[in-house]
Amino acid sequence: MTARVPCCVPFCRRTSARIEFSEWICGDHWHLVPKRYRQAYGRLVKQWRRYHRDEDGYAACRIWRRIKSKAIEAAGGIG
């Protein structure tokens, strides 16, 4: 059996077969995150992939932690 990565949101049963990620948010929970956070994360990841800039990688990680918490809060009905 191949390893699968579960969604970061507790009690979510969805998984991804893409093992290059250590954390993943499923599509159902990704759309619960405010659009401005998703857009900012996408811009930073695009710059990081294109230019391999360490400072953008750090910022993308910081935004990822915020996105993860927003997805968990929205799934729990807090946000």
Write down the pLDDT at residue 54.
60
Q: In what helix (H) or strand (E) does residue 46 lie, and over which residues does it extend?
A: helix 35-51
The burial of 66, by beta-carbon neighbours within 10 Å (0-12 exposed, 13-18 middle, 19 or more buried), is given as: middle
Give the residue from 11, 5, 6, 7 showing the smallest Cα distance to 76. 11
Confidence of residue 15 (pLDDT cuts 50, 70, 90): very high
Give the residue from 32, 37, 29, 36 showing the smallest Cα distance to 79. 32
> Cα–Cα distance between 1 and 23 in angstroms, integer?
19
Confidence of residue 21 (pLDDT cuts 50, 70, 90): confident
